Amino acid sequence: MTLRFLFAGLLYALTVLAGAGLMFTASTLLARAAFHPPLYTLMLLVTGVRFFGISRGVFRYLERLTSHDATFRYLAALRARIFEALIPRVPGGLDAGRGALQERILGDVARLEPVPVRALVPLLGSGIVLLLLASFLGHYHPALATWVAGGFALAGLLLPAAVYLGLKKRQEDRPLAAEALRQRASELAEGLPELLAYGAVPRFQEAIAAEAKRAARREQKEAWILALGEAGADLVAGVVLAGLFAAGVEVARAGLAPELVPGLVLAGFAAFEAVRPLAASGPLLAEARAAWARIQALLAAPLPAPEPEEPRALPPGFDLSLQNAWVRYPGAEKPALQGASLELPEGKAILLFGKSGSGKSTIAWTWLRFLLPEAGEARHGGVPIAALSGEDARRRIVYLEPEPHVFPTTPRENLLLANPEASEEALWHALEAAQLAARVRSLPNGLDTPLGPGGVELSGGEARRLSIARAILKDAAIWFLDEPTEGLDGETEARLLETLTPLLKGKSALWISHRPLEALDLPRYRVEAGRPRRA
């Protein structure tokens, strides 16, 4: 990746040098032609004009192609790193809302996108241009090289640094404001039915509008600072041009051929194309620096369940147990499980019930190896879960979460996530078992009907039944059913429980509910303050 950016910087320098060469050869050609020399003495200059005119366009195309290709490759790899870092931190290791995560993955990565093309590559290229052009101009007179070097230092380093310092604090605060705005918009979209029911939509709209106005005022002030920086770069270029003309007069007086002077002056001025983009790089760098710090903080967040260096093999048995387990979410002051002990024998089923926040789902997440006990032990088939890899620990388990995600595609593709080889008959069997077949048949194209963003074609209860159908297709040995009947009416709940019970024969099942679910004839455990007790 580094070599790609270095090559792009070289192509950038060749583009600028071709432009300077075009100015030099064209100016010298016109000046020399004014003396009416023999035509053959101008042929080299004519060839130079053609060469630099064509090569400038070629180099510019190659530079754009190379720099953008390198940038997109880098950003793609960075996004992959971020997703890889998020996977082992779900669900227990991320202390951030949906808006904050969207801002990290989408907003912060997007803030890094302009930096290579508009800052890094121009900086590398202008360094090469300065080195070669200063050597060329210094060969004729040191003053020419001095003016160009001074102009490059001012327009390419000092002015961008001043703009960077002027915008540093504002650019660091901007993503936080964008995060707050994105979070409010996400809350409005997700809670729209309830907000409409209680007439609270205008209040949320006013809050979003206020955030947007503050962002507009901030961007206006930033635009003024950036405009002053770009105007300063134009002023430096004008001063350097005047200085080059003055130095050119001295060069002519020193006896240099007068037809070379315009070419030297204009070549030096044309080279300012190299540093012109850097005048606008200050805000990009300030914003990118803050975005990079947040991305690194996300990548460096503590893992709630680190992978073992040498994982043990998955045991043949699949009984699950907790033995005086103390489990804490990263950053939490109080453990979610406080000396919890529980057994889920192989092929048996138990029910956990209790208030929200009592620790029911934490027990499931611990057995799923999303969390590890800080004291005590969790076991799978007699083997400590900490000694198994996360992939192995979850291979036998299907987890039905309270708010399952429905992908914005068809029911067929949502179901095939669980078993890509499932036949049409198997899909309908799973839907029948989940009490969802009639609803899917009523859709315009049945299994091939797009469900829309977030599965808007389905109600909350129907989305939960779709996740149950997915679980049936996976045919796992262990089932975790977290609030499987929430949102269902009594009749549908009874049918669902009646259908699921025979499907779970021979399997281990952990039922989780905020109510006892008297219809299930299972051992019951009430969870209070992070400890399950037999009810």
DSSP 279-326: GGHHHHHHHHHHHHHHHHHHHTSPPSSPPPSSPPPPPS---EEEEEEE
Tell whether 277 and 386 lie within a shared domain.
no
Q: Phi and psi at residue 170, in whole multiples of 5°?
A: -65, -45
**Quick count: other Cβ atoms within 10 Å of Cβ 227?**
12
Evaluate whether residue 372 is within a structural domain: yes
Contact 164, 172 (CB under 8 A): no
Strand partners, 513: 353
Tell whether 327 and 250 lie within a shared domain.
no
Q: Which amino acid is at 468?
A: I
pLDDT of residue 487: 64
Asked if the model's pLDDT at residue 1 lies above 70, the reply is no
More confident residue, 27 or 493: 27
Mean pLDDT along residues 239-247: 86
pLDDT of residue 112: 87
Q: pLDDT band at residue 527, thresholds of 50, 70 and 90? A: very high
Boundary-marking domain end, from 299, 332, 365: 299
Contact 178, 107 (CB under 8 A): yes
Please report how many Cα atoms fall inside a 13 Å half-sphere around the Cα of residue 107, on the Cβ side: 23
Asked if the model's pLDDT at residue 355 lies above 80, the reply is yes
Tell whether 336 and 229 lie within a shared domain.
no
Distances (CA, A) of 352 to 43, 346, 465, 531: 92, 17, 20, 11
How large a percentage of the chain has pLDDT more than 70? 93
Contact 303, 93 (CB under 8 A): yes
Mean pLDDT along residues 139-153: 87
Of 1-5, 41-45, 179-183, the range with the lowest mean pLDDT is 179-183
pTM: 0.69
Boundary-marking domain end, from 270, 299, 328: 299
Residues 6+ apart with CB under 8 A from 253: none
Q: How many residues does the chain have?
A: 535
Evaluate whether residue 500 is within a structural domain: yes
Tell whether 394 and 476 lie within a shared domain.
yes
**First CA to last CA across the chain, in angstroms?**
61
Q: pLDDT band at residue 379, thresholds of 50, 70 and 90? A: very high
Strand partners, 420: none
Tell whether 164 and 193 lie within a shared domain.
yes
What span, in angstroms and rounded, lies between the C-alpha atoms of 57 and 259?
A: 27
Strand partners, 383: 380
CATH number at residue 340: 3.40.50.300
Proportion of the chain in helix, strand, coil states, percent, rounded to 5: 65, 10, 25
Tell whether 341 and 376 lie within a shared domain.
yes
Contact 320, 481 (CB under 8 A): no
The per-residue pLDDT for range 108-144, each reduced to its tens digit, is 888 888 888 888 899 899 999 999 988 888 888 888 8
Mean pLDDT along residues 348-368: 90
pLDDT of residue 12: 94
> Reduced to 3 states, what is the DSSP secondary structure of residue 489?
coil
Q: pLDDT band at residue 15, thresholds of 50, 70 and 90? A: very high
Tell whether 96 and 197 lie within a shared domain.
yes
CA 529 to chain centre: 37
More confident residue, 403 or 15: 15
Evaluate whether residue 306 is within a structural domain: no
Boundary-marking domain end, from 299, 332, 353: 299
pLDDT of residue 171: 61
Which position has the token pair 């809350």? 187
pLDDT of residue 326: 94
pLDDT of residue 179: 66
pLDDT of residue 25: 92
Number of domain units in the chain: 2
Mean pLDDT along residues 504-520: 85
Mean pLDDT along residues 164-171: 71
Tell whether 269 and 341 lie within a shared domain.
no
Asked if the model's pLDDT at residue 54 lies above 90, the reply is yes
Evaluate whether residue 312 is within a structural domain: no
Mean pLDDT along residues 144-154: 88
What span, in angstroms and rounded, lies between the C-alpha atoms of 118 and 518?
A: 65
Asked if the model's pLDDT at residue 191 lies above 90, the reply is no
The sheet with strand 375-380 has its strands ordered as: 337-344, 320-327, 375-380, 383-384
Closest CA to 103 of 298, 302, 273: 298
Expressed as residue numbers, the domain containing 467 is: 320-534
What span, in angstroms and rounded, lies between the C-alpha atoms of 303 and 94?
A: 9
Q: pLDDT band at residue 176, thresholds of 50, 70 and 90? A: low
Contact 315, 380 (CB under 8 A): yes
What span, in angstroms and rounded, lies between the C-alpha atoms of 475 and 472?
A: 5
pLDDT of residue 163: 80
Evaluate whether residue 307 is within a structural domain: no
What span, in angstroms and rounded, lies between the C-alpha atoms of 17 and 271?
A: 7
Tell whether 342 and 409 lie within a shared domain.
yes
Mean pLDDT along residues 456-481: 84
Q: pLDDT band at residue 293, thresholds of 50, 70 and 90? A: confident
pLDDT of residue 56: 93
Evaluate whether residue 325 is within a structural domain: yes
Tell whether 218 and 347 lie within a shared domain.
no
Contact 20, 85 (CB under 8 A): no
Mean pLDDT along residues 419-439: 89
Evaluate whether residue 311 is within a structural domain: no
Tell whether 275 and 360 lie within a shared domain.
no
Asked if the model's pLDDT at residue 97 lies above 60, the reply is no
Q: At what angle do helices 460-474 and 490-503 cross, to 10 degrees?
A: 10
**Dihedral sign of CA atoms 18, 20, 22, 25 in order:** negative
The per-residue pLDDT for range 64-76, each reduced to its tens digit, is 999 999 999 998 8
Contact 504, 475 (CB under 8 A): no
What span, in angstroms and rounded, lies between the C-alpha atoms of 280 and 234?
A: 12
Tell whether 360 and 286 lie within a shared domain.
no
pLDDT of residue 177: 66
Asked if the model's pLDDT at residue 63 lies above 90, the reply is yes
> Reduced to 3 states, what is the DSSP secondary structure of residue 335?
coil
The per-residue pLDDT for range 440-452, each reduced to its tens digit, is 999 888 899 888 7
> Reduced to 3 states, what is the DSSP secondary structure of residue 229?
helix
What span, in angstroms and rounded, lies between the C-alpha atoms of 26 and 76?
A: 43
Summary mean pLDDT of the chain: 84
More confident residue, 511 or 288: 511
Of 125-134, 176-185, 376-385, 478-487, the range with the lowest mean pLDDT is 176-185
